Amino acid sequence: MSTFKAPKGTYDLTPPDSAKYLAVREAIAAPLKNSGYGYIETPGFENVELFSRGVGESTDIVTKEMYTLTTKGGDHLALRPEGTASVLRAALEANLHKAGNLPVKLWYSGSYYRYERPQKGRYRHFSQVGAEAIGTEDPALDAELIILADQAYRALGLRQFRILLNSLGDKECRPLYRDALQAFLRGLDLDEETARRIEINPLRVLDDKRAEVQKQLVGAPLLRDYLCDACKAYHEEVRALLTTAAVAYEDDEKLVRGLDYYTRTTFEFVHDGLGSQSAVGGGGRYDGLSEMIGGPALPSVGWALGVDRTVLALEAEGITLDIPSTTAVFAVPLGEEAKRVLFAVVTRLRRSGVAADLSYGSKGLKAAMKAANRSQARFALVAGERDLAEGLLQLKDMESGEQEPIALDSVVETLTSRLS
Ligand code: HAM
């Protein structure tokens, strides 16, 4: 061990476990790539103001959890705590919305940073795969995204997750609800910080996890009863499309997300095997965000799934992903001359697309065969001076244990045909 450790709230991905993370990222991305979403990558940091305006001045993310810094040049930057504001900023900057092809559908995969109290499933550096459909108001898009996330989780083998669905209304009806909720909350017996929250972001109070608060919230006005006709019709259409696609969801009137940009459809994917950090993914519609960051009106919808928590969910369900071994052929040279010959063979195998590796250093036969085993290669290629003198190599089938001599001349052809 070195003097240094990974910083608090972070962890490293190392083989063989890291393969799971790659597989999860790929499994989430696959249905997106298959549905017209193009890949986007944005910087790991942005101007602080993008997030304070976009995610919301009063959110925990902005007030408590951002890693901010001032550069030597005087720029105020923040490590990105989420992806939506960045992706929208980048789409606007590149004028993707003006190419006459709305919605702009984008997917991304990367690292995000939040200064949170670390615990299982909650880290300061974590990883998301996300998708955003920008510039179109259409319930079919909201439904599409929920269906694609469901498809990704199912492809991974996950079953014990639930989809919570809500509508947060729009700029017409939400203010009316907000007033009614504030009036109700002001009459309760709450601590000072919560009382302050009533004035800034009353919907967040509904999300309070404490039993003594939840007890008082019985009888609170429900947003459902305040939705305007347009929001109601929109939400009904999203629900109907999900039902037609046989994607089960639960209506959750109390679902409030931790970011302020949401309007209308909001949803969360929760996994029942994860304890308190049960949200494996979440998202919704954010029709006003573009204007909040200085762009034109661009109604949009998206989600992000947490890779770390998805891996924990797989573990909770006892699912082992079928990750094929990467090495197909492992070469074991016996002696200096054999090493030169096999090094050349391995190079040729790799150039013809066969995944091959070699025993490096000067290991004896036993240690080298152990390395071959560990690589999970399908075949081992063993070469000693005597075989080589006759133009031969020994090919060992690592599954059956059988070994046979093959011609050095045609080793690449032999192996490509055996592996196909
Ligand atoms: P979010 O709900 O803040 O939404 O994060 C999405 C997912 O990221 C969570 O459900 C969780 O799995 C994972 N996550 C968040 N924080 C942590 C953490 N500290 N440690 C581990 N995993 C974490 C967003 O970020 C929105 N940008 C989603 C979205 C996209 N909405 C519209 N488009």
* pTM score: 0.94
Nearest atom (ligand 1) to Cα of 283: 31
- Given a contact cutoff of 8 angstroms between Cβ atoms, the answer to whether 68 and 48 are in contact is yes
Each residue's pLDDT expressed in tens, for the chain with a length of 420 residues: 799 999 999 999 999 999 999 999 999 999 999 999 999 999 999 999 999 999 988 888 998 999 999 999 999 999 999 999 999 999 999 999 998 889 999 999 999 999 999 999 999 999 999 999 999 999 999 999 999 999 999 999 999 999 999 999 999 999 999 999 999 999 999 999 899 889 988 988 988 889 999 999 999 999 999 999 999 999 999 999 999 999 999 999 889 888 889 999 999 999 999 998 999 999 999 999 999 999 999 999 999 999 999 999 999 999 999 988 789 999 999 999 999 999 999 999 999 999 999 999 988 999 999 999 999 999 999 999 999 999 999 999 999 999 999 999 999 999 999 998
Task: Find out whether the beta carbon of 54 lies less than 6 Å from any atom of ligand 1.
Answer: no
* Residues forming a β-bridge with 333: 383
DSSP annotation string for 238-302: HHHHHHHTT---EE-TT---SSTT-EEEEEEEEETTSTT--EEEEEEE-TTHHHHTT-----EEE
Peptide bond between residue 16 and the one before it cis (omega within 30 degrees of 0): yes
Which DSSP letter does residue 362 get?
Answer: S
Residue nearest to atom 31 of ligand 1 (CA): 283
Task: Find out whether the beta carbon of 202 lies less than 6 Å from any atom of ligand 1.
Answer: no
Task: Find out whether the beta carbon of 81 lies less than 6 Å from any atom of ligand 1.
Answer: no
Nearest atom (ligand 1) to Cα of 307: 12
Task: Find out whether the beta carbon of 146 lies less than 6 Å from any atom of ligand 1.
Answer: no
Model confidence pLDDT, tens digit, residues 383-396: 999 999 999 999 99
Secondary structure class of 324 (helix, strand, coil) = coil
> Sign (positive/negative) of CA torsion 383, 386, 391, 397?
negative
What's the gap in Å between 112 CA and the centre of ligand 1? 9
pLDDT of residue 339: 96
What's the gap in Å between 33 CA and the centre of ligand 1? 20
Task: Find out whether the beta carbon of 83 lies less than 6 Å from any atom of ligand 1.
Answer: yes
- Given a contact cutoff of 8 angstroms between Cβ atoms, the answer to whether 96 and 134 are in contact is yes
Task: Find out whether the beta carbon of 299 lies less than 6 Å from any atom of ligand 1.
Answer: no
Task: Find out whether the beta carbon of 237 lies less than 6 Å from any atom of ligand 1.
Answer: no
> Sign (positive/negative) of CA torsion 352, 357, 360, 366?
negative
C-alpha distances out from residue 139 to 220, 236, 368, Å: 28, 9, 59
Task: Find out whether the beta carbon of 280 lies less than 6 Å from any atom of ligand 1.
Answer: yes
- Given a contact cutoff of 8 angstroms between Cβ atoms, the answer to whether 233 and 137 are in contact is no
Q: Which of 10, 309, 314 has most ligand 1 atoms within 8 Å of CB, for mutation? A: 309
C-alpha distances out from residue 33 to 41, 90, 98, 105, 135, Å: 15, 19, 22, 10, 19
- Given a contact cutoff of 8 angstroms between Cβ atoms, the answer to whether 161 and 313 are in contact is yes
Nearest atom (ligand 1) to Cα of 302: 33
Task: Find out whether the beta carbon of 82 lies less than 6 Å from any atom of ligand 1.
Answer: yes
What's the gap in Å between 372 CA and the centre of ligand 1? 41
> Could you give the count of Cα atoms lying within 13 Å of 112 in the half-sphere of its Cβ?
25
Model confidence pLDDT, tens digit, residues 234-292: 999 999 999 999 999 999 988 988 888 999 999 999 999 999 899 999 999 999 999 99
Q: Identify the structural domains of the chain with CATH numbers, from first to last.
A: 17-173+227-316 (3.30.930.10), 329-419 (3.40.50.800)
What's the gap in Å between 18 CA and the centre of ligand 1? 20
Nearest atom (ligand 1) to Cα of 310: 12
Q: Which long-range contacts (CB under 8 A, 24 or more apart) does 9-15 make?
A: 9/116, 9/118, 9/123, 9/124, 9/125, 10/123, 10/124, 10/125, 11/123
Largest CA distance in the chain: 94
Task: Find out whether the beta carbon of 258 lies less than 6 Å from any atom of ligand 1.
Answer: yes
Q: How many CB atoms lie within 10 A of CB 90?
A: 17
**Which tokens hold the place of 192?**
């000072």
pLDDT of residue 178: 93
pLDDT of residue 254: 85
- Residues for the chain: how many in total? 420
**Which tokens hold the place of 217?**
């919230």
Nearest atom (ligand 1) to Cα of 309: 12
What's the gap in Å between 399 CA and the centre of ligand 1? 43
Task: Find out whether the beta carbon of 309 lies less than 6 Å from any atom of ligand 1.
Answer: yes
